Every structure is written in structure tokens, then in C-alpha cells.
């Protein structure tokens, strides 16, 4: 019904669109979708009123780093989207103070919209910002479980899981992650968490994967601290205090900050190869799962209910 209403309104607005240039047209259609169907956008966090305009960079983020991260992600994922018959579009909104990021699909244009406001938030490191881009890519390519069982978008938990299970591993595949983690280890902040690194050493045999796992985990911590700040929670999420709650049915919406940090961490720990793809209907392929008794890297039960996660068509 919603999509029908959107189509009617878009058709009714055609005379106005005809007068506008293509950028204005897109912005107009965007605003219609925003008003009528906010769920058509899949945000990294719930709607909020924070606004971080340019010039308040307290985390060292610059427009250059913002663009470098997105250039890197685009270079790796453009051919992957193309192979799926889609055009990968990154909308860069450096000057926009919104503390969020979105994924949406308009025909075969599969879009992620990235805001400077989120990139400038004090909790966000460049690796945290990479992870946000990978979460949004996860809505497009992350597989089951999907929103409402059959929607186009992977749900929030799955997009988080995919971000470290596949996306960051692909994006950072050519980086010197061992050198990077050694450098991070030597710095006071942001350091590599000792417990997270210990678990990465247990879960992975290859030193390059161990380092990649440590780096991904710290990206997850940056983002989990953002979620904590947005929900004004007094206790910071930690790697060794996993969320103990269990859902009866898989939850599509944004899990609690600790639960999301656990998901990033488990995605990083899973030793399944990055080349084993996920599936749009079956949540098992390409993942660590209870059915195969994997000891590490399982999707946390604080959002994932294994028996209810299959997407039926
Ligand atoms: Zn999301």
C-alpha cells in the first residue's frame, strides 16, 4: 500500500519534476519518500536530532579522510554491485550535520547515503566510519534474515554481522593490517582491546586474519560507543560483557549497543572464508552457525533467533 501511495504521489508531482533538473528531481522524490515511508531508508541508527556541522571536527575527521574512506569502499564494491545488476551509488553529504547514514534502492540504483555529521561525531574513528559504510552495504548485500522476512533489505542485525563477516574483510584485504594493529597497540588511544585481540588469536590461525579481526573489532567499538552516546546509556559496551538477552523471534530493528558490538565482534571472529557468499533466503551459507557447531562467530541471540530467521518466499 505504501509503495502504491508513493507511486501515485510521484506521478501527480510529474509537472513539477518536469521543471526541475535531475538533481532537484531526485531531492524531491527523496523528500516524498522520507515523508510517506521513512522505513524505505534503512539508517545506521534511529532518527535523532543531533547536528554536527562542518568545523566541529573533534575526532580528527577531515573531508579528505571522509572521501578517502568512501573512494576505497566504492572501488572494492562497485564491481560487486555491478555483478548483481545494480549501480552502486554513494551519496556524499559532508556538509550535512545529520548523525546517521542510510541505504535505499531506487530501481537498479542501490544507494548508500553518508553524512559528515556522523563522521564528525567524537566517537567515530576512520575505521568506525568504514564500518558504517559496510553496514549500509550490508542492507543491500547482507543476505537473510531480511526486513519483514521478504523485504529487499537485510535487517539491522544481519547488516551489522555482514559488515565484519564479509565487507570490511574485502575492503581491507590489501591493507597492511598487521602493521596497522601493531601501530594501534603502541598508541595509547585508540588502542587494540586486549580481550578482543586474545579472542581473535584463538578464532583465527593466520596472523593476517588475526590482525584484521582486531582492527575490525576496534571499528565495532567506535560505532558501539556512538550508539551508547545516542541512547545516553551510562555503561559503555565492552567486548567481555556480552548481552545475555535472548529474543524469541528474530528482531529486524536496531539492537541495543552492547548487542550490536557483540555482532560486529562475532562477525570478526568467524573463521569462514570471505569468499563463501551469503544467501538472500537461507541465513546459513557463508556464516558461522549453531547448526554446524561453530565455536566462534555466531550471530548473538540478543537479536537472532535461529529457527525463525529463514526468509520464506
Ligand atoms: Zn541499518
The per-residue pLDDT for 4 is: 38
Q: Are 111 and 139 in contact (CB under 8 A)?
A: no
Q: Cα of 70 to ligand 1 centre, how many Å?
A: 17
Q: Are 150 and 93 in contact (CB under 8 A)?
A: no
Is 71 contained in some domain?
no
The per-residue pLDDT for 191 is: 82
Q: Cα-atom radius of gyration of the chain, to the nearest Å?
A: 19
The per-residue pLDDT for 10 is: 38
Summarize the confidence of residues 134-154 as an average pLDDT.
94
Phi first, then psi: what are they for 196, rounded to 5°?
-60, -45
The per-residue pLDDT for 33 is: 52
Rounded Cα gap, residues 240 and 262, in angstroms? 9
Q: Could you list the residue range(s) of the whole structural domain that residue 188 is in?
A: 172-308
Q: Cα of 102 to ligand 1 centre, how many Å?
A: 7
The per-residue pLDDT for 15 is: 38
The per-residue pLDDT for 8 is: 38
The answer to whether residue 1 scores a pLDDT higher than 70 is: no
Identify the DSSP state of 108: T
The per-residue pLDDT for 190 is: 64
Q: Are 151 and 181 in contact (CB under 8 A)?
A: no
Is 19 contained in some domain?
yes
Q: Cα of 167 to ligand 1 centre, how many Å?
A: 14
Q: Cα of 12 to ligand 1 centre, how many Å?
A: 30
Q: Cα of 158 to ligand 1 centre, how many Å?
A: 9
Cis bond leading into 249, ω under 30°? no
Rounded Cα gap, residues 49 and 258, in angstroms? 22
Q: Can you give the three-state secondary structure of 73-93, one letter per residue?
A: HHHHHHHHHHHCCCEEEEEEE
Is 85 contained in some domain?
no
Is 261 contained in some domain?
yes
- Chain centre distance of CA 110: 15
Q: Cα of 133 to ligand 1 centre, how many Å?
A: 10
Quote the percentage of the chain above a pLDDT of 70.
84
The answer to whether residue 41 scores a pLDDT higher than 50 is: yes
Summarize the confidence of residues 76-89 as an average pLDDT.
98
The answer to whether residue 43 scores a pLDDT higher than 50 is: yes
Q: Cα of 42 to ligand 1 centre, how many Å?
A: 5
- pLDDT category at 185 given cuts 50, 70, 90 is confident
Q: Cα of 248 to ligand 1 centre, how many Å?
A: 21
End-to-end alpha carbon distance in the chain: 19
Q: Cα of 162 to ligand 1 centre, how many Å?
A: 11
Highest mean pLDDT among 2-11, 22-31, 59-68, 299-308: 59-68
Q: Cα of 1 to ligand 1 centre, how many Å?
A: 23
Tell me the pLDDT of the chain averaged across its residues. Answer: 88
Give how far Cα 253 sits from Cα of 26, 123, 148, Å. 27, 22, 10
pTM: 0.88
Q: Cα of 286 to ligand 1 centre, how many Å?
A: 20
- pLDDT category at 219 given cuts 50, 70, 90 is very high
Give the model confidence (pLDDT) of 257-272 as tens digits. 999 999 999 999 999 9
Give the environment of ion ligand 1: residues with CB less than 5 A.
42, 156
Q: Please name the helix (run of DSSP H) or strand (run of DSSP E) that holds residue 227, with its range, or none.
A: helix 207-230
Close Cβ partners of 282 (under 8 Å, ≥ 6 residues apart): 144, 310, 311
Quote the percentage of the chain above a pLDDT of 90.
75
Alpha helices in 54-193 (DSSP H): 63-83, 116-120, 126-141, 156-162, 168-171, 177-186
Identify the DSSP state of 298: B
Identify the DSSP state of 308: G
**Domains of the chain: total:** 2
Is 51 contained in some domain?
no
Is 94 contained in some domain?
no
The per-residue pLDDT for 18 is: 38
Give the model confidence (pLDDT) of 120-138 as tens digits. 999 999 999 999 999 999 9
The answer to whether residue 216 scores a pLDDT higher than 60 is: yes
Q: Cα of 301 to ligand 1 centre, how many Å?
A: 18
Is 70 contained in some domain?
no
Is 179 contained in some domain?
yes
Phi first, then psi: what are they for 66, rounded to 5°?
-50, -50
Q: Cα of 106 to ligand 1 centre, how many Å?
A: 17
Amino acid at each position: 500500500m505504501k509503495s502504491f501511495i508513493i507511486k501515485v504521489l510521484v506521478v501527480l508531482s510529474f509537472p513539477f519534476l518536469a521543471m526541475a533538473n535531475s538533481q532537484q528531481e531526485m531531492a524531491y522524490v527523496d523528500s516524498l519518500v522520507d515523508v510517506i515511508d521513512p522505513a524505505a531508508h534503512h539508517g545506521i541508527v534511529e532518527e535523532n536530532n543531533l547536528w554536527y556541522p562542518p568545523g566541529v571536527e573533534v575526532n580528527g575527521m577531515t573531508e579528505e579522510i571522509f572521501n578517502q574512506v568512501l573512494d576505497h569502499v566504492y572501488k572494492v564494491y562497485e564491481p560487486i554491485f555491478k555483478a548483481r545488476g545494480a549501480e552502486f551509488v554513494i551519496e556524499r553529504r559532508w556538509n550535512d550535520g545529520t548523525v546517521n547514514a542510510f541505504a535505499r534502492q531506487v530501481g537498479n540504483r542501490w544507494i548508500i547515503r553518508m553524512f559528515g555529521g556522523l563522521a564528525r561525531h567524537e566517537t567515530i574513528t576512520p575505521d568506525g566510519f568504514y564500518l558504517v559504510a559496510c553496514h549500509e552495504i550490508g542492507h543491500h548485500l547482507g543476505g537473510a534474515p531480511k526486513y519483514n522476512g521478504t523485504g529487499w533489505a537485510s535487517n539491522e542485525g544481519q547488516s551489522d554481522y555482514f559488515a565484519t563477516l564479509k565487507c570490511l574483510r574485502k575492503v581491507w584485504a590489501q591493507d597492511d593490517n598487521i602493521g596497522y594493529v601493531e601501530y594501534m597497540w603502541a598508541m595509547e588511544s585508540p588502542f587494540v582491546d586486549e580481550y578482543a585481540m586474545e579472542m581473535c588469536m584463538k578464532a583465527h590461525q593466520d596472523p593476517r586474519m588475526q590482525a584484521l579481526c582486531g582492527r575490525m573489532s576496534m571499528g565495532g567499538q567506535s560505532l558501539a560507543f556512538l550508539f551508547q552516546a545516542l541512547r545516553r546509556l551510562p555503561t559503555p559496551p565492552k567486548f567481555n560483557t556480552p548481552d545475555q538477552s535472548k529474543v524469541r523471534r528474530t528482531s529486524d530493528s536496531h539492537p541495543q549497543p552492547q548487542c550490536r558490538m557483540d555482532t560486529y565482534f562475532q562477525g570478526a571472529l568467524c573463521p569462514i572464508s570471505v569468499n563463501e557468499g551469503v544467501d538472500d533466503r537461507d541465513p546459513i551459507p557463508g556464516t558461522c552457525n549453531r547448526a554446524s557447531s561453530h565455536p566462534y562467530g555466531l550471530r548473538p541471540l540478543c537479536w537472532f533467533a535461529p529457527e525463525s530467521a529463514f526468509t520464506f518466499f
